[in-house]
């Protein structure tokens, strides 16, 4: 069975500080991987997707970047956090038309 | 691009009653339809997904109906119980890879005793 892990579980960071969020998936080779962002009480916004190692497509511009250094790993990062980056970050993998989400990372930017 | 409207934004039902959530979409090429449940502070859990050639699907007290003519997708929780209290999202995709899954705004469901 596939399992998806995210780290850290939660972060409290200062405006202007760097950020790195991680996601790994086990039990699935060459998965399509996604980063989603969810504002408190809001819907989900797709940020990035990746269909293979080293290839990442950006969906929206939020002063964030993503990388896929390994087949099972997806990283979300920024060098300078903004207040608007606060929210819930979810990693997911996808067979056609479905998404299986990780547990998420709660980010608070102060 | 695809637009999805979900309603109601809030729904309260008594235990044992049914709860119905509806999404409408705009792209007639939409091929994949799914429903997700999000409990407080947690990620999303896939409840059920259907392809565009399916009009109705039932699983474990959940019924998904797809009306392609009206571009409407619904989720019916029959005999809701307090453990069903959560936020529910519909999501649709026009591509087979799911790369452009578009989510509804979410429905906060509360089931009371």
> Which residue on chain A is closest to B50 by alpha carbon?
A97
pLDDT digits (tens, 9 = 90+) for B34-74: 999 999 888 899 999 998 888 999 998 999 999 999 999 99
pLDDT digits (tens, 9 = 90+) for A8-45: 999 999 999 999 999 999 988 888 999 999 998 888 99
Nearest to B68 by CA among B57, B56, B90, B52: B52
pLDDT of residue A60: 84
Position with higher pLDDT, B99 vs B94: B94
Average pLDDT over residues A43-60: 91
Question: CA of A63, closest CA in chain B: separation in Å?
Answer: 20
pLDDT of residue A70: 94
Residue A30 CB burial class (10 angstroms; 0-12, 13-18, ≥19) = exposed
Average pLDDT over residues A52-73: 92
- Say if residues B14 and B112 touch (Cβ distance below 8 Å): yes
Per DSSP, the three-state class of A85 is helix
Task: List the single residue in B32, B44, B93 with the smallest CB-CB distance to A90.
Answer: B44
Q: Which residues of B touch A (CB under 8 A)?
A: 31-34, 36, 41-46, 49, 51, 89, 91, 93, 96-101, 103-106
pLDDT of residue B37: 96
Residues of A in contact with B44 (CB under 8 A): 44, 90, 92, 99, 101
Residues of B in contact with A32 (CB under 8 A): 97-99
pLDDT of residue B2: 85
Average pLDDT over residues B82-93: 94
As a dihedral over the C-alpha atoms of residue A89, residue B96, residue B70, residue B88, rounded to 10 degrees, the angle is -30
Residues of A in contact with B39 (CB under 8 A): none
- Say if residues B9 and B105 touch (Cβ distance below 8 Å): yes
Average pLDDT over residues B79-101: 84
pLDDT greater than 60 at residue B97: no
């Amino acid at each position: 069975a596939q399992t998806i892990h995210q780290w850290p579980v939660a972060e409290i960071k200062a405006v202007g500080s760097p950020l790195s969020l991680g996601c790994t998936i086990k039990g699935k080779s060459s998965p399509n991987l996604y980063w989603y962002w969810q504002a408190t009480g809001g819907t989900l916004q797709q940020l990035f997707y990746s269909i293979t190692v080293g290839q990442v497509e950006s969906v929206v511009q939020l002063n964030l970047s993503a990388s896929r250094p390994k087949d099972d790993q997806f990283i979300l990062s920024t060098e300078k956090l903004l207040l608007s980056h606060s929210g819930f970050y979810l990693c997911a993998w996808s067979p056609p038309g479905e998404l299986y989400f990780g547990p998420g990372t709660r980010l608070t930017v102060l | 691009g695809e637009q999805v409207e979900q309603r109601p934004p809030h729904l309260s039902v008594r235990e044992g009653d049914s709860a119905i959530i509806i999404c409408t979409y705009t792209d007639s090429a939409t091929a994949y339809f799914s429903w997700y449940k999000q409990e407080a502070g947690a990620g999303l859990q896939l409840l059920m997904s259907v392809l565009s050639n399916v009009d109705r699907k039932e699983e474990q007290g959940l019924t998904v109906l797809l009306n392609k003519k009206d571009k409407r997708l619904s989720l019916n929780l029959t005999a809701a119980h307090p453990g069903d209290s959560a936020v529910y999202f519909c999501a649709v995709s026009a591509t087979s890879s799911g790369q452009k899954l578009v989510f509804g705004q979410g429905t906060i469901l509360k089931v009371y005793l």
